[in-house]
Structure 1
Amino acid sequence: MKTLKGPAVFLAQFAGSEAPFNSLDGMCQWAADLGYKGIQIPTWETHLIDVDKAAESQTYCDELKGKVNSYGLEITELSTHLQGQLVAVHPAYDTMFDGFAPESVRNNPKARTEWAIKTVKNSGTASGRLGLKSHATFSGGFLWHTVYPWPQRPKGLVEMGFEELAKRWLPILNHFDEHGVDVCYEIHPGEDLHDGISFERFLKATGNHKRANILYDPSHYVLQQLDYLTFIDYYHEFIKAFHVKDAEFNPTGKQGVYGGYSDWADRAGRFRSLGDGQVDFKSIFSKLTKYKCDVWAVMEWECCIKSSEQGAREGAPFIQSHIIEAAERSFDDFAGGDVDKEHLKKILGL
């Protein structure tokens, strides 16, 4: 068994234009004061990290890491959720996803894709320079608009979609492999990698690439009514990153999984602050510990009711209370020792 690391916090939902959220120093002090031990850094927040510079300069990475460490914190992972999303975009989403890219490549899907691939690769180089072993991202995809098969999907469509997705990602996965870093895809509705079966399809399409792994976030499984505990039994060997995020699903006679286009607070499925939803974190932490998952427990806050300030304050102690100090010996070790066959025969009456 292995003790999970944490508590840590994903900075994406807290970064902003006002102090202390507008600088790395400010956010580090804020996180440390709240009791966090690690931070997951979103690479699109340029006031927190210059990922292109980090890919070029070991000195810059050493200084960045040193700054974070000076606050008693560690960098858990870098995140390219937004750039990873842009590696593979169906044209129906071009207009909405263009906002994730710099103006120089907007209205130009080919240039946007090239920029996204380059930026994710740079994040892999930066992760290696920072001594990180895992990286958090989205897969993007081409098939989400066909997730509910009406009209019926033509034969071969799904296979072609995953072949193309793998084609986009294989050079990135190979690049990360060169730097000793795992790519952890957040299994998430809207992405082509949205459940276990779709992850398996992608894994097969990449030739079971050893760097294709999972960021486990149970909130997204609650919203699609997937068994998030058995998921760990199936895929624990691939879980190399962990978002601690709560959610609830309360279907009515008017709406269910799809939510009727309602706002977040009015949907049947919605995200909640830690402890306010339906996720069984005790069982999750137990399973991840049992399976020796070497991950940081990183809070991601997206509650539709509670303020981010309160959510951040409550997050660190919540995670700390769930981290299990893994047992180094079994309670019945007293019965151990070398095998004595004659003694065993006596016990068995042989």
Structure 2
Amino acid sequence: MDLEKQGAGRPVPPPRPSSPRQPEAAGEGCLVVAVRLPVRIFVFLVVLPVRMVWDACAVAVRWLDRAVFRPLGRALWWMGRAVFVWPLVGLWRYGLVPLGTALSWLGNLVVVVPAGWLYRHVLAPLGHALLAVLDRLTRYLVVVPGAWLYKWVLTPLGHAVARCAKGLAWLVGMLVTGIGTGLYWITRILFVLPLLAVWRWVLTPVGRVLAVVAREIGDALGHAWRVAGYVSLAVGRFLGALVRWAVVEPARWTYARVLTPVGHLVRDAVLRPAAEAGRAVGRAVRESLDSARATLRQARADLRRMLVGERRPTPVENRREPIGGDTRTLGSSTTALTKD
């Protein structure tokens, strides 16, 4: 009794719902168990190459998008703007808008203003006069005869037509009801009951089997696609590592450990001494050419001096005014008037 009382106060935990994707083993039939494993193996073998090709195409498309399509799209965008958008904008802004403004002003001046004047000063007074006369004519020529015709002719005729239509509708309804009842029972006996039997005893079991097969195929496809993704990722990483350790790392090691020291050795032992020797030879050649040029210039000057003689220096005439004590004054003897 104490145990029952202690257990009665505790809440009973709700039962855990089973996953719709993974039915319980007790609810699965032998057909599900027999179909699942072969279908999953076959679908995995079919899906794995497709997934690997899909991943390779996705990598190639991402590279093409990053390296080709985006720059090409930007170039085409700017080309399209330069070829189409900017000329159209210029045409709209500097051609169509001023032309539309001019046409609007011209239409207002030619059409709107005369039409407004005609409406205000001609049509409106004429319309008011005609409205005053037509009101009376309409009352005595249209309203009064129309009311009399509606009251004494159309109303009795309408009541008679309504009674006839009501009787005809009742007769048609009875005929349609009888014919519909007969057709209902004929259709039920000839079509509905056989179709219901076929649906209940043939199509429903076949549909359940096909639903189980389709569900298992769908689950197998999803499972195989995910597993093939992992396999494709592993293969891609393996190939990347293989290329890295087979090509990249040997090339890097060769460049760092072989080509770089050899290049430094060739630079220090061959290229730099050769460059220094070339610069020394160049300097020696330039100095030899300079000395030969100076010797030739000296020999040519000596030959000219022997043939022509020494050239007298050209006196330089000082045309400036004397400065300081050499300034010309009246008391100085340098002027022409006080010269002895």
TM-score (norm 1): 0.11
Q: Which has the higher contact order (CA 8 A, sep 6+)?
A: 2
